Chains A and B, each alone.
Chain A
Amino acid sequence: GNSVTQMEGPVTLSEEAFLTINCTYTATGYPSLFWYVQYPGEGLQLLLKATKADDKGSNKGFEATYRKETTSFHLEKGSVQVSDSAVYFCALIPSNAGGTSYGKLTFGQGTILTVHP
Protein backbone atom coordinates (compact mmCIF):
# COMPACT_ATOMS: atom_id res chain seq x y z
CA GLY A 1 0.00 0.00 0.00
CA ASN A 2 0.91 3.68 -0.02
CA SER A 3 2.86 5.09 2.88
CA VAL A 4 4.87 8.12 3.97
CA THR A 5 7.78 8.13 6.39
CA GLN A 6 9.08 11.31 8.00
CA MET A 7 12.13 11.87 10.10
CA GLU A 8 11.40 11.51 13.76
CA GLY A 9 11.10 14.60 15.86
CA PRO A 10 10.94 16.67 17.72
CA VAL A 11 13.31 19.05 15.99
CA THR A 12 14.60 22.01 17.97
CA LEU A 13 16.46 24.85 16.26
CA SER A 14 17.64 28.34 16.96
CA GLU A 15 16.22 31.22 14.95
CA GLU A 16 17.91 31.65 11.54
CA ALA A 17 19.13 28.05 11.48
CA PHE A 18 18.75 25.86 8.38
CA LEU A 19 15.89 23.38 8.44
CA THR A 20 15.59 19.99 6.77
CA ILE A 21 12.76 17.56 7.48
CA ASN A 22 13.20 14.32 5.58
CA CYS A 23 10.27 12.59 3.90
CA THR A 24 10.24 9.41 1.83
CA TYR A 25 7.28 7.65 0.32
CA THR A 26 6.14 4.30 -1.01
CA ALA A 27 3.61 4.36 -3.83
CA THR A 28 3.15 3.08 -7.35
CA GLY A 29 3.28 5.43 -10.29
CA TYR A 30 3.55 9.16 -9.73
CA PRO A 31 1.70 10.28 -6.62
CA SER A 32 1.14 13.94 -5.82
CA LEU A 33 3.20 15.02 -2.82
CA PHE A 34 2.36 17.61 -0.19
CA TRP A 35 3.62 19.30 2.92
CA TYR A 36 0.99 20.44 5.41
CA VAL A 37 1.63 22.56 8.51
CA GLN A 38 -0.36 22.57 11.75
CA TYR A 39 0.21 25.55 14.02
CA PRO A 40 -0.62 25.09 17.71
CA GLY A 41 -4.36 24.73 18.27
CA GLU A 42 -5.19 25.06 14.58
CA GLY A 43 -6.12 22.88 11.64
CA LEU A 44 -3.90 21.77 8.78
CA GLN A 45 -2.82 24.22 6.12
CA LEU A 46 -1.36 23.27 2.78
CA LEU A 47 2.22 24.56 2.74
CA LEU A 48 3.38 23.37 -0.68
CA LYS A 49 2.90 20.62 -3.22
CA ALA A 50 4.44 18.93 -6.26
CA THR A 51 2.64 16.73 -8.74
CA LYS A 52 5.40 15.32 -10.94
CA ALA A 53 9.02 14.28 -10.79
CA ASP A 54 11.56 17.11 -10.42
CA ASP A 55 8.83 19.63 -9.58
CA LYS A 56 9.79 22.02 -6.80
CA GLY A 57 7.09 23.29 -4.49
CA SER A 58 7.75 26.49 -2.56
CA ASN A 59 5.91 28.79 -0.17
CA LYS A 60 6.83 31.14 2.70
CA GLY A 61 10.53 30.38 2.24
CA PHE A 62 9.99 26.61 2.40
CA GLU A 63 10.93 24.37 -0.51
CA ALA A 64 10.67 20.69 -1.40
CA THR A 65 11.66 18.87 -4.60
CA TYR A 66 9.92 15.75 -5.89
CA ARG A 67 12.69 13.16 -6.34
CA LYS A 68 11.35 10.07 -8.06
CA GLU A 69 14.70 8.27 -8.07
CA THR A 70 14.99 8.45 -4.27
CA THR A 71 11.20 8.56 -3.60
CA SER A 72 11.75 11.61 -1.44
CA PHE A 73 10.22 15.03 -0.83
CA HIS A 74 12.41 16.66 1.82
CA LEU A 75 11.30 20.00 3.27
CA GLU A 76 13.91 22.76 3.59
CA LYS A 77 14.07 26.34 4.76
CA GLY A 78 17.19 28.45 4.80
CA SER A 79 16.46 30.51 7.89
CA VAL A 80 13.72 29.51 10.31
CA GLN A 81 11.79 31.90 12.53
CA VAL A 82 10.08 31.41 15.88
CA SER A 83 6.76 31.67 14.04
CA ASP A 84 7.63 28.51 12.07
CA SER A 85 7.19 26.42 15.23
CA ALA A 86 4.51 23.90 14.30
CA VAL A 87 3.91 20.29 13.31
CA TYR A 88 4.83 19.49 9.70
CA PHE A 89 3.22 16.63 7.79
CA CYS A 90 4.37 15.08 4.55
CA ALA A 91 1.56 13.45 2.59
CA LEU A 92 0.68 11.87 -0.75
CA ILE A 93 -2.30 11.23 -2.98
CA PRO A 94 -1.77 8.24 -5.28
CA SER A 95 -1.80 8.65 -9.01
CA ASN A 96 -4.91 7.76 -10.99
CA ALA A 97 -4.69 7.21 -14.71
CA GLY A 98 -8.40 8.03 -15.10
CA GLY A 99 -7.95 11.69 -14.22
CA THR A 100 -10.28 11.82 -11.22
CA SER A 101 -8.86 10.87 -7.91
CA TYR A 102 -10.74 9.56 -4.96
CA GLY A 103 -7.39 8.59 -3.57
CA LYS A 104 -6.76 8.96 0.10
CA LEU A 105 -4.48 11.70 1.32
CA THR A 106 -2.06 9.57 3.32
CA PHE A 107 0.04 11.32 5.94
CA GLY A 108 3.40 10.72 7.53
CA GLN A 109 3.57 10.71 11.29
CA GLY A 110 4.33 14.42 11.57
CA THR A 111 7.44 16.23 12.79
CA ILE A 112 7.24 18.73 15.63
CA LEU A 113 9.46 21.76 15.02
CA THR A 114 10.33 24.18 17.81
CA VAL A 115 12.34 27.30 17.01
CA HIS A 116 13.92 29.24 19.87
CA PRO A 117 14.84 32.94 19.72
Chain B
Amino acid sequence: DTAVSQTPKYLVTQMGNDKSIKCEQNLGHDTMYWYKQDSKKFLKIMFSYNNKELIINETVPNRFSPKSPDKAHLNLHINSLELGDSAVYFCASSQATRGRSGYTFGSGTRLTVV
Protein backbone atom coordinates (compact mmCIF):
# COMPACT_ATOMS: atom_id res chain seq x y z
CA ASP B 1 0.00 0.00 0.00
CA THR B 2 1.35 3.40 -0.98
CA ALA B 3 1.65 5.63 2.09
CA VAL B 4 1.29 9.00 0.32
CA SER B 5 -0.15 8.87 -3.17
CA GLN B 6 -0.51 11.70 -5.65
CA THR B 7 -2.42 11.84 -8.90
CA PRO B 8 -1.69 12.45 -11.65
CA LYS B 9 2.01 11.66 -11.91
CA TYR B 10 2.37 13.78 -15.04
CA LEU B 11 0.28 16.74 -16.13
CA VAL B 12 0.79 18.66 -19.36
CA THR B 13 -1.54 21.58 -19.97
CA GLN B 14 -1.80 24.89 -21.75
CA MET B 15 -1.37 28.31 -20.26
CA GLY B 16 -4.57 29.71 -18.81
CA ASN B 17 -6.08 26.35 -17.92
CA ASP B 18 -7.21 25.29 -14.45
CA LYS B 19 -5.95 22.00 -13.04
CA SER B 20 -6.02 20.00 -9.81
CA ILE B 21 -3.59 17.61 -8.17
CA LYS B 22 -4.88 15.15 -5.59
CA CYS B 23 -3.08 13.70 -2.59
CA GLU B 24 -4.09 11.00 -0.15
CA GLN B 25 -2.24 9.46 2.79
CA ASN B 26 -3.07 6.24 4.63
CA LEU B 27 -0.63 6.69 7.50
CA GLY B 28 -3.13 8.18 9.92
CA HIS B 29 -1.15 11.42 10.01
CA ASP B 30 -2.91 14.63 10.92
CA THR B 31 -0.77 17.13 8.99
CA MET B 32 -0.27 17.38 5.23
CA TYR B 33 1.87 19.62 3.05
CA TRP B 34 2.48 20.76 -0.50
CA TYR B 35 6.02 21.45 -1.68
CA LYS B 36 7.21 22.80 -5.02
CA GLN B 37 10.48 21.64 -6.57
CA ASP B 38 11.89 23.87 -9.28
CA SER B 39 14.15 22.97 -12.17
CA LYS B 40 17.22 23.42 -9.98
CA LYS B 41 15.82 20.84 -7.53
CA PHE B 42 15.16 23.45 -4.85
CA LEU B 43 12.26 22.49 -2.56
CA LYS B 44 10.00 25.10 -1.03
CA ILE B 45 6.95 24.62 1.14
CA MET B 46 3.70 26.08 -0.15
CA PHE B 47 0.97 25.03 2.28
CA SER B 48 0.34 22.94 5.34
CA TYR B 49 -2.90 21.69 6.85
CA ASN B 50 -3.44 20.18 10.27
CA ASN B 51 -6.76 18.38 10.76
CA LYS B 52 -8.23 20.28 7.80
CA GLU B 53 -7.06 23.65 9.15
CA LEU B 54 -4.59 25.77 7.19
CA ILE B 55 -1.52 26.37 9.35
CA ILE B 56 1.21 27.32 6.88
CA ASN B 57 0.60 29.50 3.86
CA GLU B 58 3.79 30.72 2.29
CA THR B 59 3.95 33.52 -0.25
CA VAL B 60 2.11 31.73 -3.01
CA PRO B 61 -0.01 33.36 -5.73
CA ASN B 62 -3.75 33.37 -5.08
CA ARG B 63 -4.15 31.19 -8.16
CA PHE B 64 -3.07 28.28 -5.93
CA SER B 65 -5.79 27.05 -3.60
CA PRO B 66 -5.39 24.02 -1.36
CA LYS B 67 -8.41 22.11 -0.12
CA SER B 68 -8.50 19.50 2.62
CA PRO B 69 -11.84 17.65 2.78
CA ASP B 70 -10.53 15.46 5.60
CA LYS B 71 -7.21 14.88 7.29
CA ALA B 72 -6.27 12.09 4.87
CA HIS B 73 -6.62 14.26 1.75
CA LEU B 74 -5.05 17.49 0.58
CA ASN B 75 -5.73 18.64 -2.96
CA LEU B 76 -4.13 21.52 -4.84
CA HIS B 77 -6.09 23.51 -7.38
CA ILE B 78 -4.31 25.91 -9.70
CA ASN B 79 -6.18 28.54 -11.73
CA SER B 80 -4.97 30.33 -14.83
CA LEU B 81 -1.79 28.30 -15.18
CA GLU B 82 1.38 30.14 -16.18
CA LEU B 83 4.64 28.92 -17.70
CA GLY B 84 6.40 29.56 -14.40
CA ASP B 85 4.15 27.07 -12.65
CA SER B 86 5.99 24.25 -14.41
CA ALA B 87 7.63 22.23 -11.64
CA VAL B 88 7.34 19.03 -9.66
CA TYR B 89 4.82 19.25 -6.84
CA PHE B 90 5.23 16.99 -3.84
CA CYS B 91 2.65 16.15 -1.22
CA ALA B 92 3.83 15.06 2.22
CA SER B 93 2.39 14.12 5.59
CA SER B 94 3.46 13.92 9.20
CA GLN B 95 2.02 13.47 12.67
CA ALA B 96 2.13 16.86 14.40
CA THR B 97 3.10 15.45 17.74
CA ARG B 98 5.91 13.55 16.02
CA GLY B 99 6.64 16.16 13.37
CA ARG B 100 10.25 16.18 14.43
CA SER B 101 10.43 12.60 13.15
CA GLY B 102 10.23 13.88 9.59
CA TYR B 103 7.76 13.83 6.77
CA THR B 104 6.66 11.09 4.36
CA PHE B 105 6.57 12.27 0.75
CA GLY B 106 4.57 11.22 -2.27
CA SER B 107 6.28 10.46 -5.57
CA GLY B 108 5.49 13.84 -7.05
CA THR B 109 3.43 15.35 -9.88
CA ARG B 110 5.39 16.79 -12.77
CA LEU B 111 3.42 19.75 -14.12
CA THR B 112 4.38 21.14 -17.51
CA VAL B 113 2.66 24.27 -18.76
CA VAL B 114 3.00 24.92 -22.49
Give me the interface of A with B, judged by CB distance under 8 Å. Answer: 32, 34, 36, 38, 42-46, 49, 51, 87, 89, 93, 95-96, 99-107, 109-110, 112
| Residues of the A chain whose Cβ atoms lie less than 8 Å from the Cβ of B90 | 43-44
Q: Find chain B residues with CB under 8 A from A109 CB.
A: 40-42
Residues on B with C-beta less than 8 A from A99 are: 97
Tell me if B79 is interfacial: C-beta within 8 Å of chain A: no
Contact status of A102 and B96, CB under 8 A, knowing A42-B107, A89-B43, A112-B41: yes
* Pairwise interchain contact A100-B97, C-beta atoms closer than 8 A: yes
The answer to whether A103 touches B106 (Cβ under 8 A) is no
- Binary contact readout B66-110 vs A (1 if CB under 8 angstroms, 0 otherwise): 000000000000000000000000101000110111111111100
Q: Check if B31 is an interface residue, CB within 8 A of chain A.
A: yes
Count contacts between A and B, CB distance < 8 Å: 68
- Cβ contact within 8 Å between B105 and A102: no
Using a CB–CB cutoff of 8 Å, the interface residues on chain B facing chain A are 31, 33, 40-45, 48, 50, 55-56, 90, 92, 96-97, 99-108
Q: Which of B43, B100, B107 contacts A32 (CB 8 A)?
A: B100
Minimum distance in angstroms from B1 CB to a CB of chain A: 16
CB distance from B30 to the nearest CB of A (A): 10
Q: Is the CB of B56 within 8 A of A102?
A: yes
* Structural contact, B108 and A101, CB atoms closer than 8 A: no
CA distance A45 to B44 in the complex (A): 16
Q: A100-B97, A101-B96 are in contact. Are A110 and B41 (CB under 8 A)?
A: yes
